[in-house]
Chain A
């Protein structure tokens, strides 16, 4: 992707499977992407594409069993995350890497005030204690745009609206000044005007603090609006990656192209949508060869037989497709 700079986070050939009694679900099958300091990198995919599982694997939040990381490497600032002793990782969490989730109500504790929960970050990491921690919590609430923060800090999660709860989550995540924030569908449950507020807040915070953001989302528009880099996931693999403007402006993978053809924003009025045929694959029975071939209009016998390797259509752009050149030249 961006040449030169050492990546802050580098995920290589990550593989995660879920072993249930009856079958093995291959949620992530060799996903790889990297994030450079100060950038917003989007991981774009539909439900079941493995984007959230990848995020949870990075944060070491997967419960095992049923989940097992069966291969690959995650390096944060050059250190192997998966090999790190858990107590060392826990120290990094919050301080250097933090996460916000889609469902803020489920992620906050209903029986403690939000001020207490934010201050807990400082107490847990021994940064500040008592009154100092509480005062910092109020500062953070103000910084994420919650009006009357001194009083609101005493309120409980259910007393906040959806957008305000997401602000509280963001306040907790940025409390210790992390270098990387992983945001898993942070605005999916929110209305569009509130979504715009939250995305603007994240953007402002990134500019102020210089932290990098990994934005996990299914929304092409959000990616186009805020991200620098994008990794498009399908069936547990990153099928295309590069700078957002390049990837969405001129896709080199048929799946990216097909996604753009199936949303009305990308089309002129009166143009018919071109949906992707069929449905996403059952991750316990991923198709042979290229996983996208049953739904792909470019598919040939080669696609049915062998899995494609990444092709660099232009420097900095990767697409896992036997016909990447042809797709790239279609527009």
Chain B
């Protein structure tokens, strides 16, 4: 049913272990006096298998985009490792990193900011081959660009145009074609459809699914839209204040959430279901997400949690496995196999 079944014995292509990213909060010139840290990502671990989509959900500031940026080494991690086919991305040399970046590509949220307005589409999509010239011989590049354009649902003649001539959805397609130019194994999608209108969003979601089916690319799919993540993902990790609070198969996390935050998050999502199931209980959380510069001790959700007890302020709860394989939640009082879907 899930990707785990298909790829059961495979070794993960990407293993993230204990990833930590703290940003210093400085005062004075050039941050010389450090007055604290923003704990953007704290001890995040997950695995990604071939052809699988790992969804990362959570609200603004939970650290999901920072995870993506450290995996690309756009940010240097504070601690942890990320093994790509067994080789640590974080300690890779320049040359190794160049090769890894060919195989791990990214698409961004804002299709307006991520394309150079002064470059023609042909040059935008072909630019990765300037850095990796061996991949496609120069003489074949124009044809390959057109092939890529067609594979993302645009037309070959679009190659001569500039980004401003395209709509948001079309620009996102150009961004996808550029990422595909290097035949990656992993595509990190950082809020790829959040800036798009509903009708256009569905086109891009379907395109990403088709590409995955055709080329077996694994996705790390980051979004705040719970239903889009559910639709795209085989496995899902829910993040809160820099930590994964729950991780499991899409169906486990959405139908049988174990962490109170996951329950609250899912219940807050507006529903389109007009049948009897619609009148489910909505959990309205009190207050707001605390500052990542000064998160609560122990469980970071404890000051907003309705199940909180003294133990929650002590050691942070570990991600524990439940009766179901692969479904883990970091909570001292998790929900046990209660169906809410």
Q: What residues on A are CB-neighbors of B69 within 8 Å?
A: none
A266 with B197: CB separation less than 8 A: no
Q: Complex: how many Å from CA A276 to CA B206?
A: 11
Q: Which of B199, B203, B264, B285 contacts A46 (CB 8 A)?
A: B199
Q: Which of A163, A197, A280 contacts B199 (CB 8 A)?
A: A280
B198 within 8 A of A: yes
**Interface-side segment among A23-31, A257-265, A317-325:** A257-265
Q: Which chain B residues numbered 194 to 209 have a C-beta less than 8 Å away from chain A?
A: 197-203, 205-206, 209
B197 with A191: CB separation less than 8 A: no
B198 with A259: CB separation less than 8 A: yes
Q: What residues on B are CB-neighbors of A199 within 8 Å?
A: 270
A193 with B231: CB separation less than 8 A: no
B272 with A265: CB separation less than 8 A: yes
Q: Complex: how many Å from CA A275 to CA B60?
A: 27
A264 with B197: CB separation less than 8 A: no
Q: Which of B202, B269, B282 contacts A275 (CB 8 A)?
A: B202
Q: What residues on A are CB-neighbors of B169 within 8 Å?
A: 279
B226 within 8 A of A: yes
Q: What residues on B are CB-neighbors of A262 within 8 Å?
A: 198-199, 201-202
Q: Complex: how many Å from CA A280 to CA B169?
A: 11
A159 within 8 A of B: no
A274 within 8 A of B: yes
* CB nearest neighbor in B for A48: B197
**Interface-side segment among A123-131, A221-229, A302-310:** A221-229
A220 within 8 A of B: yes
B257 → chain A, closest Cβ, in Å? Answer: 14
Q: Complex: how many Å from CA A265 to CA B229?
A: 11
A275 with B227: CB separation less than 8 A: no
Q: Which chain B residues numbered 175 to 214 have a C-beta less than 8 Å away from chain A?
A: 197-203, 205-206, 209
B227 with A163: CB separation less than 8 A: no
Q: Complex: how many Å from CA A220 to CA B198?
A: 9
Q: Complex: how many Å from CA A274 to CA B203?
A: 8
Q: What residues on B are CB-neighbors of A147 within 8 Å?
A: 287
B247 → chain A, closest Cβ, in Å? Answer: 19
A192 within 8 A of B: yes
B288 within 8 A of A: yes
Contact string, B274-312, partner A, CB cutoff 8 A, digits 1/0? 100000001011011100000000000000000000000
B272 with A192: CB separation less than 8 A: no
Q: Which of A200, A224, A266, A277 contacts B284 (CB 8 A)?
A: A200
Q: Complex: how many Å from CA A258 to CA B198?
A: 10
A284 within 8 A of B: no
B203 with A191: CB separation less than 8 A: no
* CB nearest neighbor in B for A295: B199
B59 → chain A, closest Cβ, in Å? Answer: 4
A280 with B284: CB separation less than 8 A: no
A245 within 8 A of B: yes
* CB nearest neighbor in B for A147: B287
Q: Complex: how many Å from CA A116 to CA B77?
A: 45
Q: Total interface residues on B, using CB and 8 Å?
A: 39
The answer to whether residues A275 and B199 also contact, given A192-B59, A200-B284, A264-B227 and a CB cut-off of 8 A, is: yes
B25 within 8 A of A: no
The A-B contact count (CB < 8 A) is: 115
A161, A164, A199, A269 interface centre (most CB from chain B within 10 Å): A269
Q: Which of B170, B205, B285 contacts A273 (CB 8 A)?
A: B205
Q: What residues on A are CB-neighbors of B274 within 8 Å?
A: 224, 245, 248-249
B14 → chain A, closest Cβ, in Å? Answer: 25
Q: What residues on B are CB-neighbors of A245 within 8 Å?
A: 274
B230 with A269: CB separation less than 8 A: yes
A191 with B251: CB separation less than 8 A: no
Q: Which of A261, A264, A279 contacts B230 (CB 8 A)?
A: A264
Contact string, A157-195, partner B, CB cutoff 8 A, digits 1/0? 000010110000000000000000000000000011111
Q: What residues on A are CB-neighbors of B79 within 8 Å?
A: none
B206 with A275: CB separation less than 8 A: yes
A196 within 8 A of B: yes
B288 with A161: CB separation less than 8 A: yes
Q: Complex: how many Å from CA A218 to CA B282?
A: 22
A219 within 8 A of B: yes
B337 within 8 A of A: no
B272 with A220: CB separation less than 8 A: yes
* CB nearest neighbor in A for B209: A272
Q: Complex: how many Å from CA A262 to CA B270?
A: 16
* CB nearest neighbor in B for A275: B202
Q: Which of B206, B251, B264, B265 contacts A269 (CB 8 A)?
A: B251
Contact string, A6-32, partner B, CB cutoff 8 A, digits 1/0? 000000000000000000000000000
A193, A194, A261, A279 interface centre (most CB from chain B within 10 Å): A193
B59 with A191: CB separation less than 8 A: yes
B322 within 8 A of A: no
B169, B202, B267, B271 interface centre (most CB from chain A within 10 Å): B202
Q: Which chain B residues numbered 31 to 68 have a C-beta less than 8 Å away from chain A?
A: 59-60
Contact string, A285-322, partner B, CB cutoff 8 A, digits 1/0? 00000000001000000000000000000000000000
B228 within 8 A of A: yes
A46, A225, A265 interface centre (most CB from chain B within 10 Å): A265
A191 with B60: CB separation less than 8 A: yes
* CB nearest neighbor in B for A225: B270
B167 within 8 A of A: yes
B256 within 8 A of A: no
A70 → chain B, closest Cβ, in Å? Answer: 26
Q: Which chain B residues numbered 141 to 183 have a C-beta less than 8 Å away from chain A?
A: 167, 169-170
Q: Which of A192, A220, A248 contacts B226 (CB 8 A)?
A: A192
Task: Supply 16 A–B pairs (Cβ within 8 Å), ascending by A.
Answer: A163-B288, A192-B59, A193-B265, A193-B268, A193-B284, A196-B267, A196-B284, A200-B282, A221-B271, A224-B270, A224-B272, A262-B201, A262-B202, A263-B202, A265-B270, A279-B200
Q: Top 5 closest A-B pairs, CB basis?
A: A221-B270, A262-B202, A275-B202, A264-B231, A196-B268
| Contacts beyond the supplied A265-B273, A267-B231: 8 A-B pairs with Cβ under 8 Å | A163-B288, A200-B284, A219-B270, A220-B270, A249-B274, A263-B198, A265-B271, A276-B203
